[in-house]
Chains A and B, each alone.
Chain A
Amino acid sequence: MYLIALLILITLLASLGRMVLGPTRADKLMVTQLFSTCGSAVLLVLSRAMEMDALVDVAILLVLLGAVAMVAFTLADRQDRR
């Protein structure tokens, strides 16, 4: 279980390359969405491996924060163009 969590974490870290490369801000912020899904998957796997059910709540919070971050980014982007 820990190995699976580690491998998911490695794919998550590899996707940070897009945050460095990304030509526009939208490309960079897209990785936030990846962090919310991949990160919650890591937390779910760890919640079984460590027998800590509270980590499921942390995963829910991470998904919620990802959604809020993307909406806030889109609103800020629209205001910049005006």
Chain B
Amino acid sequence: MPPWIVIVKYLLLIIALFFFTAGTLGVLRFPDLYSRLHALTKCDNLGLGFVVAAIAIDAADGWLAVKLILLWFLALASSATACYLVARSGLRAGRDPWEKKA
């Protein structure tokens, strides 16, 4: 394995770690349900995408890489659907979006 693959792999993993940390911070710190959903479903899927890229360039055979990319698409579709469902359920339960106090 050429050394640049290892460097790129660790670089991608560190970027993924940054996005996971940002997602967790958003879930912990954001003020209302909708912004927390936003942080959770976007940041974490981007982090998962970087992990998938890092593992796929390191994978032994091509089919494993294809499987990993399909996993990422599955995660994207499922989290987009879950975000929509939870946001709609919150809105129907009468939870108002957060507004900055004047």
User: Which residues from chain A sit less than 8 Å from chain B, CB to CB?
Assistant: 1, 4, 7-8, 11-12, 14-15, 17-18, 24, 26-27, 29-31, 33-34, 36-38, 40-41, 44-45, 47-48, 53, 56, 59-60, 63-64, 66-67, 70-71, 73-74, 77-78, 81
A8-B17, A33-B41, A45-B13 known; A63 and B75 CB under 8 Å? yes
User: Is A29 a contact partner of B86 (Cβ separation < 8 A)?
Assistant: yes
With a 10 A CB-CB cut-off, give which of A12, A37, A56, A60 has the most chain B CB atoms. Answer: A37
User: Is B51 a contact partner of A63 (Cβ separation < 8 A)?
Assistant: no
The residue on B at minimum CB distance from A33 is B82
User: Is B74 a contact partner of A60 (Cβ separation < 8 A)?
Assistant: yes
Q: Which residues of chain B from 14 to 39 have a CB within 8 Å of any chain A CB? A: 14, 16-17, 20-21, 23-24, 27-28, 33, 36-37
With a 10 A CB-CB cut-off, give which of B17, B24, B48, B81 has the most chain A CB atoms. Answer: B24
User: Is B24 a contact partner of A60 (Cβ separation < 8 A)?
Assistant: no
Provide the residues of chain A in CB contact with B40, threshold 8 Å. Answer: 30, 33-34
Kindly identify which residue among A4, A11, A24 contacts B33, using a CB–CB cutoff of 8 Å.
Answer: A24
Provide the residues of chain A in CB contact with B51, threshold 8 Å. Answer: 41, 44-45
Kindly identify which residue among A12, A64, A77, A81 contacts B24, using a CB–CB cutoff of 8 Å.
Answer: A12
User: Is A74 a contact partner of B75 (Cβ separation < 8 A)?
Assistant: no
User: Is A67 a contact partner of B86 (Cβ separation < 8 A)?
Assistant: no
Provide the residues of chain B in CB contact with A64, threshold 8 Å. Answer: 74, 78
Kindly identify which residue among A7, A18, A66 contacts B28, using a CB–CB cutoff of 8 Å.
Answer: A18
Please give the distance in Å from A2's CB to the nearest CB on chain B. Answer: 12
**B8 at the A/B interface (Cβ < 8 Å)?**
no
